[in-house]
Amino acid sequence: MPDICVIFDLDGTLVDSETLCNQAFLDLLPELSDPAEVLVKRYRGKKLSAILADIEHRIGGSLPDTFENNDRGRVSELFARDLKPMPGVVAMLDNLSHYKCVASSGPPALTIFGS
């Protein structure tokens, strides 16, 4: 049997990071009134630049120049405190007999939380 490697996406597949990323938006932008779950559906799989452009459109103005750094800091805090594997992931990975690897388009500093 040939060697097989299964590649998993990290965010929203192995770990429940999308809810926390959207919670950071809510924590930093009181103008957003949607619950985090609604934002997850709206922004799932989108690049941060597209999300920030949409948020600026929704709030009717530009975000401060410091917003992205502040957001990444808040996300790091939430990940350190609350990041959890998706339900069933640990057992599935434990039972998978193939090689495994993880891919992420997220920043390396945030990706380390999922390892």
What is the 3-state secondary structure of 50-87? HHHHHHHHHHCCCCCCCHHHHHHHHHHHHHHHHCCECC
By annotation, the residues acting in catalysis are 9
DSSP code for 29: -
- The candidate with the shortest Cα–Cα distance to 28, out of 81, 99, 93, 77, is 77
Dihedral (C-alpha) 52, 58, 63, 69: value to the nearest 10 degrees? Answer: -40
